[in-house]
Amino acid sequence: MDVIVADYAGFCSGVARAVKMAEGAPKPVASLGPLIHNRQVVEALAAEGVRPVATLEEVTEGAVLLRSHGVPPQVIEEAGRRGLRVIDATCPFVRRAQKLAAELADAGFEVIIVGEPEHAEVRGLVEWAKGKAVVVPSAAEATGLSWHPRRAVLAQTTQSRATLEEVVEVLRPISGEVVVHNTICDATRRRQEAAVEVARQVEVMVVVGGKDSANTRRLAELCRQTGTPTYHVEQAGEMDSRWFKDVRRVGVTAGASTPAWIIEEVVNMLEKEQVQVLEEEKAPEGGEVPEAQEEANRPEAPAPEETPADQEMTAEQMEKGLPRLRRGSIVTGTVVQIRDNEVLVDVGAKAEGVIPLNELSYRPFTDPSEVVSVGQEVQVMVLRPENEEGNPLLSKKRADRRATWDRLEAAFASGEEIEGEVTGVVKGGLLVDVGARGFVPASLVERGYVEDLNAYVGRKLRLRVIELDRAKNKLVLSQRAILEEEYEKQRQATWESLEPGQVRKGIVRRLTNFGAFVDLGGVDGLLHVSELSWGRVEHPQDVLSEGQEIEVKVLGVNREEGKVSLGRKQLLPNPWDTAEEHYPVGSIVEGKVLRFAPFGVFVEVEPGVEGLVHISQLADYHVERPEEVVSIGQTIPVKVLKVDQEAQRMSLSLRQALREKRRQENPRPGGRRQEEGGGETGTGVKLGDLFGDIFGTQ
């Protein structure tokens, strides 16, 4: 029975750091809760003087050790009030998530935490979010949430990436804005991937770790999903020999809180199990092993890597001091000749290596000189150490492919940004060339919806690897992930710098009946329709268009609610500042009727300047309602009776303007004009103006 231990099994860096801090702390020291999710380690540390306590009330003096899962901020404050020295062993990944939770809550987001509600790390994150957090363990739970204008998503550090992405997809249709922070520990992802890879190669899988460890339970769940029988144990003594009956290959992995000595115990017991099985398969004492059983017990021969001819060539190479060429190995050579149907490369062998044209590059070319040049150093894969003519058969294409996948795997692990050129459009997204063919789903091209994907063909995108399966040649990439991160950084910087009174440039993103939303750099501010212009604006689209860059003044900032109010008219000349000069008393101008009031009508003489025509100044007869005389939108002449520039008020008269117009049209003989409906005094003041109310003429 072969035992395969998965890579990355056991302590992660955060847990190892916490244990090391506990071991180095002055004893005795109190650990606030179990330091890690492993009973054996906690008991071993307790024997050394690291005493677990449930609350700070149990600690009267000395130091308190904060566990790797972190604690709420109130606990740290309480420890300070009690005069306790705090040794913070919080995992750096958890600490980053705590900081994000606090910042996002302060920025007005509803914080969605993808994780187990009762997990210590998640309970702490809820407190760091200051009561503005909702814990969502799965996509199914997320469907029950109502619409919210601004949401930010974090994940428990041991959560799976798939669950995080599923929850985000559910949230997008029921949220105005969704900001995603991938707070999953990269070591967790690598451990999960390595465990699944081993589970697919074996007949039985053993997952070692605490039963209350979320990341260990998740490991077991992922291994079971491969269809391989999987057993979760805390220590070697829990294993049952019946699990391994007739099993030839067993895989082992362990959670982040499992020490190496427990993993070693499990492996040792499995190896003893193997010996026991072999002993049971021996023939009875004094008997002979049946031929069929002898054949079955004979170990399988390893798959041959080299042919006898390859071995002979290797011996000759060793004798002459030449490098050993093995099938599948990557070697460096120098291009010595380019022919029509092949490229010759010096790899230090007894003969020059040959690269057939179909092994030169995965990209199309018409001439091999487009790919390589004489004297160029290239990496090649050995397909055969020697062909029929005695030359090594090489492939540059396959060496490039291996190097590319190595680079992509490193980029996947680190989150590094890569660049790729769009080569085509397929159903649901884009094909990109990043040294290997990758796929960018349409939803991951930009932050918003992309209407025409064909416009991206030939363009280079900034990409991040979000899914990779080398065995299946599966490579999924996202440009949106990078843009979202940059947008969030820009948004945070904008929030920190926004202050009332500032004049800033912005882009009009959306127009509504009540105003325009202007992007100030990751933060949208509302430019209300009343703040667009000194004049009356019926709809923002009358003066603005989406995508237009404008200057605005910051009128107010509400960080708690995430609201910014803007003004544009404040940056334009106020027409009231020159109203007395432009509209002297007694002058007659034209204006547009804007609206009715019970006491008269408001008339706009220029955008931003309007005056009141009192109902008594509408006509030379008694008027019950303004609409008897004028209509909305009508252009009428008015006479300026009074201008109060400071109060921004103006009194106007339609009746007197019409009188003036009639006098001009019908002058009296001898140079005097006869006014209908009344005479004039010698001073030019009309009697109707003085006594109109008495005579009922106003």
CA nearest 560: which of 131, 99, 77? 131
Q: Which two tokens stand for residue 299?
A: 């170990």
Task: Indicate the angle between helix axes 396-414 and 186-199, nearest 10 degrees.
Answer: 130
By residue count, the chain amounts to 698
Are 534 and 574 in contact by the 8 Å Cβ rule? The answer is yes
Select which of 121, 127, 342, 675 is catalytic: 121
Q: Which residues partner with 5 through β-bridges?
A: 252
Task: Indicate the angle between helix axes 92-106 and 13-24, nearest 10 degrees.
Answer: 110
Specify the residue for token string 């009697």.
Answer: 687
d(C-alpha 544, C-alpha 476), whole Å: 39
Specify the residue for token string 């010996």.
Answer: 275
d(C-alpha 555, C-alpha 503), whole Å: 9
d(C-alpha 555, C-alpha 577), whole Å: 21
Are 227 and 48 in contact by the 8 Å Cβ rule? The answer is no
Given the DSSP bridges, would you call strands 474-478 and 50-53 parallel, antiparallel or unpaired?
A: unpaired
User: Could you report how far apart the first and last alpha carbons of the chain are, in Å?
Assistant: 113
Residue 671 CB neighbours (<10 A):
6
Q: Which helix (H) or strand (E) holds 515?
A: strand 515-519
Residue 687 CB neighbours (<10 A):
15
Known catalytic residue: 121? yes
CB neighbour list of residue 537: distance below 8 Å, 6 or more residues apart: 529, 543
Are 379 and 400 in contact by the 8 Å Cβ rule? The answer is yes
CA 164 to the chain's CA centroid: 11
Specify the residue for token string 């031929």.
Answer: 291
d(C-alpha 109, C-alpha 562), whole Å: 8
CB neighbour list of residue 582: distance below 8 Å, 6 or more residues apart: 575, 606
What single-letter DSSP state applies at residue 154?
E
Residue 296 burial class via C-beta count within 10 angstroms: exposed 0-12, middle 13-18, buried 19 and up: exposed
d(C-alpha 500, C-alpha 511), whole Å: 23
User: What is each CA distance from 51 to 29, 36, 83, 330, in whole angstroms?
Assistant: 6, 13, 18, 54
Q: Could you list the active site residues?
A: 121
